Structure 1
Amino acid sequence: MTRRDSLLAVLVAVLWGGNFVAIHLGLEGGDGEDFPPFLFLAIRFVLVALPLVFLVPRPKASWQAVVAVGAFMSLGQFGLLYLALATGMPAGLASLVLQAQVVLTIVIAAVALDERPSRRQAAGALVGTAGLVVVAVGFGAGASIVPLVVTVGAALSWAIGNVVARAAKVESGLSLVVWSALVVPLPCLAVSWVVDGPDVMVEAMAGFGWAALLSTLYTVVGASLVGYTIFNGLMAKHPASSVVPYILLVPPVGMLSAWLVLGEVPNVLEAVGALVMLVGVTVAVTSSRRPAVVAAPS
């Protein structure tokens, strides 16, 4: 990856790291009432898709690929993540556990796309995973098993979406984000209708306050339109094993923001684990010293 692409990958990690606190605050609402998670997710992706779907050309990929990306990377990942956060998963821990997708993506890409990671990338992913385990040990005492399992399911869904996006090789990351967002709202509204009921949905919309609004703006603009546009573009240009390790930076950012905003103070094990993860990222994304290959302008 070029230095520019590496910096863009770091920017994505920072945006996504702050996303967990934004979602947590939005789900809590500003009036002490919890916002229904699937209704909240539906609102987010309606705003991701509209009005841009009328302005951005359809991605140059099959409908099956676009629907699959929307189903796994958006609906599956965030549906399970919002559910986990709504049922007691701490925001900082969620930012950590979700990064199981790094190893899962590399493994699935190796099997499905025959993209074999280099020894250095594999070693970096293993070191980063070891850091995740250390943080999980430090954080796990206060975590319920059900939200934890749900978050791991979100990580698996994200990993499958990563590989589908890579296989599709869509040139415009923005088009894929916008058009795949159409997959999310209707299933989420249906789930909320069944689980929460129409009365709760109407009441939640009537009480849609500043916390929910600011959270939605951050998740729509920062995390989805900017973050996923950059990320999908990088995945189309580079092997998954080169891009995904950067996302190991998300947990330190998520834990720091949860500490500053929510008072989730990391203990010694969590801090050590975050440091180990940073070492893993460095190992995975820096190549051995050899002459650089300059790509021709496209």
Structure 2
Amino acid sequence: MSASAPSSAWIKAMPVVFVLIWSTGFIVARYGMPYAPPFSFLLVRYALSIVCFLVWIGLARVSWPRDRAQWLHLAVTGMLMHAGYLGGVWAAVKAGMGSGLSSLIVGFQPVLTAIWLSWSLRSSGQPGVTPRQWAGLLLGFVGLLMVVWRKLTLGSAMDHVTPVNMAFAIGAMFSITIGTLYQKRFVQPCDVRSANAVQLMAALAVTLPLALAEPEVIQWNAESLGAMAWAVLGLTLGGSSLLYMLIQRGAAASVTSLMYMVPPSTALMAWLLFGETITTATLAGTALTALGVSLVVRPSRR
């Protein structure tokens, strides 16, 4: 995962691998959330991830960004895409919001990205989001709604939606959206390992005071240790690195549309691991989401 060009086979596989890894965030939350306050868990996750990246950087003799502006841009994306996005989602769920509603709110990200791109590109005379991509985004969101609908309806009586957890979820949505657009616009290509280390350092600095303010402490047991291990090795070292590479290589609308595939993949994992029911609507929504994403990411004919 260096700055050199990956093989064509790996480039083609990157979106699928990213979706599969990113979808395990639900598994981490399922195992870790009952035993850890959100910001304390994320603080430890960032710290351990930084250590892993520093060891990796040292062994591989990876170069660091030399431009101060690049450090600043990476820090901004780290605060948005790690501290803002992950902190918002975890805090919203911990504060009583169901996973279905939080997934639906964050699922607006591809649409917000497309709206911004359509406005900004057209205002500068460049081609914006195509009608085919708009159709794909709409189909993807409808499919997402079908996938999470059962959790929305079953959880409505138990979910405790408040202005606080709603603010956390909406903040997470805007953080990942702005962070993606900011990285695509300002972050120059550099090694993904040193880039991630800088991003995580910034996220740790933002998360530290929030973690210190939490009255709870992490209860370490097999579940929380396993959740932490996968959060560091799988989600951060693997998933976050893939997201960084995808944003650098692809169009922002195409990359963010992959997020539509996360809830369907999560539903399949929950069925395999926890025996959660998969309904006909879930399967139909998954197929519709896949079709929508394919319309967004398919290269335009010239």
Measured against the shorter chain, the TM-score band is 0.7 to 0.9
Give the structure 1 partner of residue 15 of structure 2.
Answer: 9
CA–CA separation in structure 2 for the residues paired with 1:232 and 1:113: 22
Distance 1:97 1:286 in 2: 25
Once superposed, what is the RMSD of the aligned Cα atoms? 2.6
CA distance in 2, matches of 1:18, 1:92: 15
The answer on 1:128 being equivalent to 2:140 is yes
Question: Does structure 1 residue 181 correspond to structure 2 residue 189?
Answer: no
Contact 1:58 1:179 in 2 (8 A): no
The partner residue of 2:175 within 145, 154, 157 is: 157
* Equivalent residue, structure 1, for 2:25: 19
Look up the match of 1:242: 254
- Partner of 1:40, secondary structure, is helix
Q: Which residue number corresponds to residue 36 of structure 1? A: 37
Check the 8 A contact 2:104/2:145 in 1, yes or no: no
- Write out per-residue CA displacement over residues 91-126 of structure 1, whole angstroms, 9 at most, x where no aligned residue: 466455433222222233444566722222222111
Structure 2 residue matching 1:62: 3-state secondary structure: helix
User: Superposition pairs for residues 203-214 of structure 1, below 5 Å?
Assistant: 204=218, 207-214=219-226
User: How many angstroms apart in 2 are the aligned matches of 1:5 and 1:246?
Assistant: 15
Q: What secondary structure does 2:24 align onto?
A: helix
Aligned to 2:85: 77
Structure-2 residue corresponding to 1:102? 110
- Map Cα deviations across residues 49-74 of structure 1 (whole Å, 9 max, x no partner): 12524634334652321121011100
**Partner Cα separation in structure 2 for residue 6 and residue 240 of structure 1:** 17
> What's the CA shift for 1:157?
0.9
User: What is the letter of the counterpart of residue 244 of structure 1?
Assistant: T
Superposed CA offset, 1:25-57 (max 9, x none): 1122xxxxx311110000001111125246343
1:3 positional shift: 6.0
Three-state SS of the structure 1 residue aligned to 2:213 is: helix
Q: Structure 1 unaligned runs (5+)?
A: 29-33, 291-298
| Number of residue pairs the alignment of both structures matches | 277
8 Å CA contact retained: 1:70, 1:184: yes
Aligned AA for 1:87?
A
Alignment partners' CA distance in 1, 2:107 and 2:278: 17
**168, 189, 195: which one pairs with 2:214?**
195
Residue 169 of structure 1 aligns with which residue? 188
C-alpha contact 2:22 2:235 (8 A) present in aligned 1: yes
TM-score by length of 2: 0.81
CA distance in 1, matches of 2:121, 2:108: 19
Change (3 A) 1:155 1:252: same
CA distance in 1, matches of 2:255, 2:90: 25
Q: Distance in 2 between matches of 1:223 and 1:38?
A: 16
Q: Match of 1:151, as an amino acid?
A: A
Displacement, 1:76? 0.3
Q: Which amino acid aligns with 2:80?
A: F
Q: Tell me if structure 2 keeps the 8 A contact 1:26–1:216.
A: yes
TM-score (normalizing by structure 1): 0.82
